[in-house]
């Protein structure tokens, strides 16, 4: 397997794992907002099924910090920038601006600020941060079946991200050649999100951001296939993180 590109961070890489859509919880103070929208909470619009479970397994196996959120993205989407049209759902977008700011203060900024602070702290100590954001995607959207089992989203203009995604894909493919593995699918990796913000804050030598996307069909089918996939994704990541730099 091809070694990863060398960096000028002699202290080595530091892995950080996040999960922005890990649950569908509705804070009691906002329960009334979801009257009439209850059915959305169980869909892909409410959360990313399986994403937090996989994030926890990767974090445990690689002894990495995990920053996860379990409040439904329908309250406020932690993977969207303030001002983005998808930051709020139909349950909250028509609230007065003061109420939306209060939601952001209580349920958005704590996660974003904590992740940003940890990444900045590690970089200040001379580490290159490898940030894995764990997500999952619905098998079918608007009648279109997604043609992937696992995918890696990254900015093609940042060499370290492309190299890590390719190495991880190849390592998983060796373990599971039957899987459909894609890059920058079903979304573009340089679109709006937490990784995009952190790229603006830090250069590509200091920061590598990857959004891992797993097809939710494995979660829905449950059983040994979902457990096996989590194990293989995690072991493939361990293989990549142990590669020598050259």
**Mean of pLDDT over the chain:** 94
Tokens of 86: 């998808």
- pLDDT number for residue 10: 46
Res 2: pLDDT = 43
Residue 88 lies in a domain: yes
pLDDT tens per residue, range 150-187: 999 999 999 999 999 999 999 999 999 999 999 999 99
Whether 96 maps to a domain, the answer reads yes
Residue 196 has what pLDDT?
98
Give 17-38 pLDDT, tens digit per residue. 999 999 999 999 999 999 988 9
Q: What is the pTM of this model?
A: 0.94
Do residues 237 and 152 make contact, with C-beta atoms less than 8 angstroms apart? Answer: no
Distance CA 48, CA 21 (A): 5
Q: What percent of the chain lies above the pLDDT cut of 70?
A: 95
- Establish if 7 belongs to a structural domain: no
Q: Around 130, how many Cα atoms within 13 Å sit in the side-chain half-sphere? A: 25
In-domain check, residue 6: no
The CATH code of the domain that includes 20 is 3.40.630.40
- Structural domains in the chain (count): 1
Does residue 53 belong to any structural domain of this protein? Answer: yes
Output the CA–CA distances (angstroms, integers) from residue 234 to 4, 18, 130, 154, in the order listed: 18, 14, 15, 18
Between CA 48 and CA 150 the distance in angstroms is 14
CB of 67 within 8 A of CB of 111? yes
Residue 6: its pLDDT value, please?
A: 41
pLDDT in tens, 96-139: 999 999 999 999 999 999 999 999 999 999 999 999 999 999 99
> Domain of 61?
13-241
Q: Which of 110, 128, 113, 131 lies closest to 6, judged by CA?
A: 128
- Give the count of beta carbons closer than 10 Å to the beta carbon of residue 168: 23
pLDDT of residue 9: 44
Rounded-to-integer distance, Cα 103 and Cα 47, Å: 17
Both tokens of residue 59?
A: 């974090």
Residue 195 lies in a domain: yes
Upper half-sphere CA count for residue 143 (Cβ side, 13 Å): 0
pLDDT of amino acid 141? 92
Predicted confidence (pLDDT) per residue in 199-230, tens digit: 999 999 999 999 999 999 999 997 899 999 99
pLDDT of residue 245: 67
Do 189 and 153 touch, CB atoms closer than 8 A?
yes
**Distance (Å, whole) CA 108 – CA 92:** 14
Q: What are phi and psi of 140, to 5 degrees?
A: -140, 135
Report the chain's terminal Cα–Cα distance, integer Å.
Answer: 12
Burial class (CB in 10 A: 0-12, 13-18, 19+), 170: middle
């Amino acid at each position: 397997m091809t070694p990863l590109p060398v960096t000028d961070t002699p202290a080595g890489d530091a892995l950080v794992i996040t999960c922005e859509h890990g649950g569908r919880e509705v804070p009691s103070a906002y329960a009334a907002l979801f009257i009439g929208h209850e059915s959305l909470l169980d869909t892909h619009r409410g959360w990313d099924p399986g994403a937090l479970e996989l994030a926890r397994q990767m974090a445990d196996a690689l002894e990495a910090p995990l920053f996860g959120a379990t409040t439904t993205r329908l309250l406020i989407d932690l993977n969207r920038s303030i001002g983005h049209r998808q930051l709020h759902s139909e349950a909250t977008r028509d609230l007065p601006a003061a109420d939306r700011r209060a939601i952001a203060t209580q349920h958005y900024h704590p996660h974003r600020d904590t992740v940003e602070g940890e990444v900045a702290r590690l970089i200040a100590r001379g580490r290159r941060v490898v940030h894995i954001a764990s997500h999952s995607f619905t098998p079918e959207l608007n009648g279109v079946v997604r043609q992937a089992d696992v995918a890696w989203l990254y900015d093609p203009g940042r060499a370290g991200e492309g190299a890590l995604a390719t190495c991880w894909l190849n390592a998983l493919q060796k373990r599971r050649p039957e899987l459909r593995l894609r890059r920058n699918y079903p979304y573009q990796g340089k679109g709006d999100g937490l990784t995009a913000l952190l790229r603006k804050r830090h250069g590509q030598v200091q920061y590598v951001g990857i959004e891992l996307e797993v097809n939710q069909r494995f979660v829905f089918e449950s059983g040994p296939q979902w457990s096996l996939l989590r194990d293989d994704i995690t072991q493939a990541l361990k293989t990549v993180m142990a590669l020598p730099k050259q």
